[in-house]
Amino acid sequence: MTSTIPAPGDSVPFSIFVSQPSTEAYEVRFSPLAQPREAEMDSTFLDAMKVRHSVFIIEQKVPLESELDEDDTRSVHWVAHMSDGEDNTSLMSQQAVGTIRVVPYPQPPHPTPGGAYSIIDGAVILKGRWVRKAEEGQADSRDPVAPPSYKTPQSQLEYLQATEADHEAEHLAAVGPDRATSMHDGKEPYVKLGRIAVLSSFRGFRLGQYLVQTALDWIQENPTYFDKIDPMAVAATASTKFNGLVCLHAQVQALGFYEKLGFEVDEGMGTWWEEGIPHVGMFRRLDLSKKV
């Protein structure tokens, strides 16, 4: 499904929406600029992948194969464009400059605090754990039960390969109920904003804010949309109806950006690393009784 949503007021950006794009033809070994089966793909989703490639693969050095994941095909995505400056209301500009996605419930368990994750064959896999380094003079003061926070300096961290016990704990978390954190009871269904990216030369023009607001407004207007995507899974896992809870996994460097949009850090979720980048969990609750 594809539709055009005009940007609010007389602002320059506009966005294109695509729901649950097929990723079957997408080959992760290739850049989105050189996809062998490009003609078979949704062009809006391919535009999203081009922005993500530029920002996450080129700029942030995330591995090429890690960009597409299992959530892409069950999510809704927006791609922001800017007009060419000749005519601010023109929808003719073809350059995609930003993107965002909303991942529906049910969600996988919250990441393990201190965990170091990579995407392998589309799935998020625990590769290791960050722990506090042993203090000098102490044999081993590492405490995996109290992993470091994002405020712990890198020099005080030590990386340990994931053990069989770590994988077993991840497996148990995946099959059981989620753990409760500071802002989530472990049961309530929530949606997750993600893959938010604006091309570097277009930053600082409120495009990021526009994309997040576009997604939040859409969620508010379509609160039952995701009930229909996978009703069996939703019925099996959700103990309550969706009540406007929105989560995101924020790169620590972008935390201030999300705070300005009303999200709060969930201290109980801890800090973990995705493709080597430290992340924290943040939540905001939308009041679904209000109209946008």
Do 148 and 157 touch, CB atoms closer than 8 A?
yes
**What is the per-residue binding string for ligand COA in 161-200, x denoting contact by CB under 6 A?**
-----------------------------------xxx--
CB of 5 vs ligand COA, minimal distance in Å: 17
Phi, psi of 194 (to 5 degrees): -165, 175
Binding of residue 28 to ligand COA (CB under 6 A): no
> Which residue of 133, 203, 227, 285 would you call a contact of ligand COA, by CB under 6 A?
203
Query: Which of 179, 165, 159, 186 lies closest to 273, judged by CA?
Result: 159
Binding of residue 137 to ligand COA (CB under 6 A): no
CA gap 210, 203 in Å, rounded: 12
**Contact range with ligand COA by CB under 6 A, out of 117-125, 133-141, 202-210, 283-291:** 202-210
Work out whether the CA dihedral 185, 186, 190, 196 comes out positive or negative: positive
The distance between the two most distant Cα atoms of the chain, rounded to a whole number of Å, is 68
CB of 61 vs ligand COA, minimal distance in Å: 12
> Which residue of 7, 46, 55, 246 would you call a contact of ligand COA, by CB under 6 A?
55
Here the contacts of 140-144 (C-beta below 8 Å, separation 24 or greater) are: 144/114
Binding of residue 256 to ligand COA (CB under 6 A): yes
Query: Which of 183, 163, 187 lies closest to 242, judged by CA?
Result: 187
Binding of residue 250 to ligand COA (CB under 6 A): yes
Binding of residue 254 to ligand COA (CB under 6 A): yes
Q: What residue ranges bind ligand COA (CB under 6 A)?
A: 55, 196-198, 203-209, 250-251, 253-254, 256-257, 260
